[in-house]
Amino acid sequence: MWMGVFAFSLMAMGYGGLQAWYVWYQSNHPINLSRYEDRGALVLSHDGSFQHMFAAKDGLFRLKADVTKVDKRYLDTLIAFEDKRFYGHSGVDYLALMRATGQAIYNGRVISGGSTITMQVARLLEPRPRTWRSKLIEMARADQLEERYSKEQILGLYLTLAPFGGAYEGVRAASWHYFGREPLDLTWGEAALLTVLPQSPTVLRPDRHPEKAARARDKVLARVQSTLGISPADLAANKGFRLRLKGKKDGMVSASTALHLAFRLRQNKDAFDTVKTTLNANYQQGATDIIRRAVDLLPKGMTAAAVIVDSWTGDTITYIGSPNYFDIERAGAVDMVTAKRSPGSTLKPFIYGLGFDDGFLHPLSLISDEKTRFGDYAPRNFRGRFHGEVSVQYALQHSLNIPAVKVLSRVGAPRFAAELAGVGVTLDIPGNKDIGLALALGGAGISLEDLVRLYAALASDGKVRPASFKGHSEDIKGKTIASATTRAYLHQILKGVSPPADLMPSGMRRHGRKIAFKTGTSWGFRDALSIGFDNRWVIGVWVGKPNGTPNPGHFGARTAAPILFDLFAMMPKSEDRQIAQVIQPSDRVKTHWRVQDLSPLQKHFDRPPLKYLAANVALPPVIQFPVPDSALKLPKGPRKLLIETKGGEGALSLLVNGEPVSEIGPLGRVWWQPSGIGFHRLTVVDERGQSAQTTIRILP
């Protein structure tokens, strides 16, 4: 009896000492969650299909998980097999620990483990050698974890950190790697496999050792069958050597077709390390295949990029920065969707659009395509020919250069650049030079992404919105780049551009789809572009070399347009729908034009209206820059703003807030130094008293 009391006293003293040591250790060693907090990111398509997974900083694929992110079959199997008293103990299961210790002493080797799931979490957070001292620390940590976190939170730590073979940790990363999906709808066999893998992740790795993995899985199923009530039919269906793993061609070892976008969005992950994009997996893969086939036929070093946007939603559904991210010869890692390159002639529709909105231009306006100099600038047409007097419609459809430069001269290059900046599209001006008329022919850099945004505005309601990769929020209204009338004009004109018959896919002719599109070629054949839209889809294609060297013989109509039409042939034809009448008011604008409908100001671009000729006076002055209601920051240095004007008779005067400031030079330009920040009213007056006025805001 006394021996029993003595033994009990020793056990009580030992337990008390252990608890005292727990308290001391926990107070001096706070829990370190750095491994848990170091996680990667999962990028998915709109339908939830896999795009790419990024590793954590330590190089392991690890995603946050908790009980809401896994199938109940897996949770039940895990608890039943690993720690059946998980919800009853306080971190350490002393009964299991004593059983495991006794078995080890009796057999001379470890027969079963005594670690609870909480103790395993402690080891996963702070990996240590397998020693008795480490086991004591894990017990202290388990007690500490149980005091601080709920059972569900502790399970979440385990589900995030448990090893599953190779570079994959956590049940979500493992499920994507082995099964190609989230662990939300697992079979009993899959649940059992994921349960047993952390016990020996290298030996049981199913993609390396399928037979061993299958035997271990069946062992788990046999042990938990009665506990979990698995039917004999389910047991039979989930046993055997077949593991039903995801094929390599579909699994995570395959290269993503949207790696460039994945890299852009990886930091925008949600609370569960997931980025769900607007990409359509089928169209993304189909477009990538089309681009790859086209690039295979191009000379060494050339590549291509493409973007497809749904104009009904504004979402980007296909994003190809290059067809192969890992192609070193073609600089595949460079994202040519965001690269600033010359747009060639693809901005011409928006130049004419300003003329339409200003009211001095119409598709039937006549304009002279003839040799013309603008100071020291003498543009030429692509093929070196002049066409005489043509309509604006003809000039745009045939991408004549001189008419476009003339219209830009009337609109004002700084104003045009400011209009683009006002809708969120910033041009890259080479060498910080003044914005000149070469802008009409691609004399400034712009990204393919921004070009597609501009054309998407033409295709829908005229508002330019930020690129949407995760879905637009309803409060993003966008800023208008073109009125309904102007969009109707440009729709009709660009739909009249006929692709060469031998380049037009037969599927396009069969469906009778009408594409509004524009091509562009930069100086020296460095960039070939084609941008187009139909009733729903907006597609942009760029072809060239990422290093910007010339590609003789490759231009927009020959090289980029065929790819554009192949991409349109892949997309389903979209019939008109009711909402299109709301987002496309241009459909309700008159599109059958007559010369009789033109105002005197619109009939001849190069000749002033008769009323001005009769009075022998010039057109009224126009303030080309700054544009009305703009908010501007002054440039560094002189802190002055360049005012640009056009027209007027005789000398022009600048008034600011009603007070005369200075005369305007013969080129229609004057530098003005604002008296301070805030709103200012600018007025330009010519010698006949004709005036123009605008209000701007100077920012600090």
Q: Is 630 a catalytic residue?
A: no
Active-site residue identified among 322, 345, 391, 530: 345
- Provide the token pair at 33: 């969650």
The H-or-E segment that residue 605 falls in is none
| Among candidate residues 664, 671, 669, 662, the one with its CA nearest the CA of residue 650 | 664
Structure tokens of 103?
A: 């078995």
Q: SS3 string of 205-232? A: CCCCCHHHHHHHHHHHHHHHHHHHCCCH
Catalytic-labelled residue, pool 45, 82, 342, 391: 82
Structure-token pair, residue 456: 């998407």
Q: In angstroms, rounded to a whole number, what is the distance separating the alpha carbons of residues 348 and 392?
A: 11
Structure-token match 């400031």, residue found: 661
DSSP per-residue letters across 135-165: HHHHHHHHHHHHHHS-HHHHHHHHHHH-B-S
**10 Å Cβ neighbour count for 250?**
11
Residue whose structure tokens are 């605008």: 694
Task: Please give the Cα distance from 426 to 4 (Å, whole number).
Answer: 86
- Cross-strand pairs, 692: 684
Secondary structure class of 656 (helix, strand, coil): strand
Distance CA 500, CA 498 (A): 6
Residue 82 among the catalytic residues: yes
Residue 256 is classified by DSSP as P
Per the CB < 8 A criterion, the answer to whether 672 and 643 are in contact is: yes
Q: Which contiguous run of DSSP H or E holds residue 631? A: strand 631-633
Q: For the purposes of burial, counting CB atoms within 10 Å of the CB of 509, is it exposed (0-12), middle (13-18) or buried (19 or more)? A: exposed
Q: How do strand 41-44 and strand 274-276 relate by DSSP bridges?
A: parallel
Beta bridge partners of 542: 305, 529
In whole angstroms, what is the distance from residue 696 CA to residue 402 CA?
32
Closest CA to 558 of 379, 382, 319: 382
User: What separation, in Å, do the N-terminal and C-terminal C-alpha atoms of the chain show?
Assistant: 91
Q: Which amino acid is at 9?
A: S
Q: Which long-range contacts (CB under 8 A, 24 or more apart) does 145-153 make?
A: 145/31, 145/91, 145/118, 145/121, 146/90, 146/91, 146/118, 148/31, 151/86, 151/87, 152/66, 152/67, 153/66
The number of beta carbons lying within 10 Å of the beta carbon of residue 31 is 15
CA angle 40, 45, 49 (to 5 degrees): 85
Task: Indicate the pairing of strand 537-544 with strand 631-633.
Answer: unpaired
Q: Which residues are catalytically annotated?
A: 82, 345
